[in-house]
């Protein structure tokens, strides 16, 4: 591996280590030769995300232009052109090694462009259009690296795991996203629970959620756990040496939802994190798990949007 390619993989690894601690820990359970390729995909997605989230020294149009220029350089690299970008060589090499579907990358970049103009989503179906590119395709990008005895059967669980991770981030990061002017929780859900943007901004200022916001968050927890339940059957389908990694990622991200519940669903009081001792205990237990063993699923397994009224009534009846 040439010096520039090695440097690109290292750049991606550093981005992963710094920004994705939970997933980075899980990745350490993969065989060493696979890790750098996961770091490459993470680096690609993280860098694009940083472009659209950058707040200092750039207008939305300037960020759009930067994303467009970076995307064009990526496309040139796919066609065999030279790139001086510090991380793209690693991504391009990973795509070549595993023959990853380029359509997934197009969908991802399209969703990143949406973040430059779209600040809220009316329904969960609307949000899923965004999440298809920002999250579901990450799962399918990963499949060739993780390997599976039946990739066609594993594809939908991989998509669902991407959606589960993304929704977990949206729940945990409501305050952080609001500071950027974005609300990823569907507007229809906010209205059903009597929550407005002004209510969220008041909670941000007070660093404390109202009872209505807490009920809204509990509803989103149920929705996220449904995606985890749909993802669980895919993990035993993976290559045995990939299963510990994804079991750990599954449990650690799912553990963030448990931490949100433990702080009374108050996502404005503190950013929910899984304590280090729990992360290490999960990693050890996943190393010891028998390959092919089923993955324990969350208790909530019904799709909230398919029983909208009942779910909302049930949650409204809970105490704050």
Choose the final residue of a domain: 117, 149, 182.
117
**Mean pLDDT calculated for residue range 9-23:** 92
Q: Are residues 203 and 215 in the same domain?
A: yes
148 and 230 inside one domain: yes
Q: Which of 117, 145, 160 is the last residue of a domain?
A: 117
Q: Is the pLDDT of residue 319 over 50?
A: no
What percent of the chain has pLDDT above 90? 81
Verify that 124 and 113 share a domain, yes or no: no
pLDDT (0 to 100) of residue 316: 37
Q: Are residues 178 and 316 in the same domain?
A: yes
Dihedral Cα 99, 105, 106, 110, nearest 10 deg: 170
Residues 8 and 57 in one domain: yes
Q: Indicate if the alpha-carbon torsion angle 20, 21, 23, 27 is positive or negative.
A: positive
Tell whether 71 and 130 lie within a shared domain. Answer: no
Residue 2 is predicted with a pLDDT of: 56
Considering the domain architecture, whether residues 155 and 293 belong to the same structural domain is answered as yes
Burial 72-89 (b: 16+ CB within 10 A, else e): ebbeebbeeeebebebbb
Longest CA span, the chain? 61
Q: Which two tokens stand for residue 237?
A: 């389908």
Q: What is the pLDDT of residues 115-168, one digit of tens each?
A: 999 999 999 999 999 999 999 999 999 999 999 989 999 999 999 999 999 999
Q: Rounded distance, CA 289 to CA 281, Å?
A: 12
Could you tell me how far CA 161 lies from the centroid of its own chain? 8
Are 151 and 108 contained in the same domain? no
User: Based on the domain organization, do 62 and 165 belong to the same domain?
Assistant: no
User: In 28-87, where does DSSP find H-type helix?
Assistant: 32-53, 60-78
- The domain total for the chain is 2
- CATH code where residue 91 lies: 1.10.600.10
pTM of the prediction?
A: 0.90
Query: 180 is in which domain, residue-wise?
Result: 120-320
Which residues, other chains included, contact 106 with Cβ-Cβ below 8 Å and sequence gap of 6+? none
Q: Residue 236 and residue 155: Cα distance in Å, rounded?
A: 13
State the Cα torsion 90-243-247-91 to the nearest 10°. 10
Last residue of a domain, one of 71, 87, 117: 117
| Arithmetic mean of pLDDT, 13-34 | 92
**Are residue 61 and residue 158 in the same domain, yes or no?**
no
Of 8, 16, 145, give the one whose Cα is nearest residue 77.
Answer: 8
Asked if 192 and 258 sit in the same domain, the reply is yes
74 plus 220 within the same structural domain:
no
Question: Taking Cα atoms as reference points, which of 154, 155, 115, 107 lies closest to residue 132?
Answer: 107
């Amino acid at each position: 591996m040439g010096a520039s390619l090695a440097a690109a993989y290292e750049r991606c690894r550093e981005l992963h280590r710094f920004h994705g601690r939970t997933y980075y820990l899980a990745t350490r359970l993969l065989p060493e030769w696979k890790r750098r390729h996961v770091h490459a995909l993470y680096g690609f997605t993280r860098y694009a995300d940083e472009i659209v989230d950058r707040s200092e020294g750039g207008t939305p149009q300037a960020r759009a232009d930067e994303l467009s220029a970076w995307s064009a350089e990526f496309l040139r690299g796919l066609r065999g052109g030279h790139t001086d970008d510090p991380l793209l060589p690693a991504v391009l090499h990973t795509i070549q090694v595993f023959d990853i579907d380029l359509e997934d990358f197009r969908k991802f970049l399209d969703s990143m462009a949406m973040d430059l103009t779209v600040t809220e989503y009316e329904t969960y179906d609307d949000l899923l259009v965004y999440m298809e590119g920002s999250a579901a395709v990450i799962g399918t990008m990963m499949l060739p690296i993780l390997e599976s005895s039946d990739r066609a059967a594993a594809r939908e669980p991989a998509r669902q795991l991407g959606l589960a991770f993304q929704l977990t981030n949206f729940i945990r990061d409501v305050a952080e996203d609001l500071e950027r002017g974005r609300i990823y929780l569907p507007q229809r859900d906010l209205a059903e629970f009597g929550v407005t943007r002004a209510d969220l901004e008041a909670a941000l200022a007070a660093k404390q959620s109202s009872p209505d916001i807490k009920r809204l968050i509990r509803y989103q927890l149920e929705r996220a756990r449904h995606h985890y339940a749909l993802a669980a059957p895919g993990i035993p389908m993976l290559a045995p040496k990939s299963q510990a990694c994804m079991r750990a990622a599954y449990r650690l991200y799912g553990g963030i939802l448990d931490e949100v519940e433990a702080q009374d669903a108050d996502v404005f009081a503190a950013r929910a994190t899984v304590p280090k001792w729990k992360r290490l205990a999960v990693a050890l237990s996943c190393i010891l798990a028998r390959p092919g063993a089923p993955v324990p699923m969350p208790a909530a397994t019904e799709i909230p949007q398919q029983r909208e009224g009942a779910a909302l009534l049930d949650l409204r009846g809970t105490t704050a």
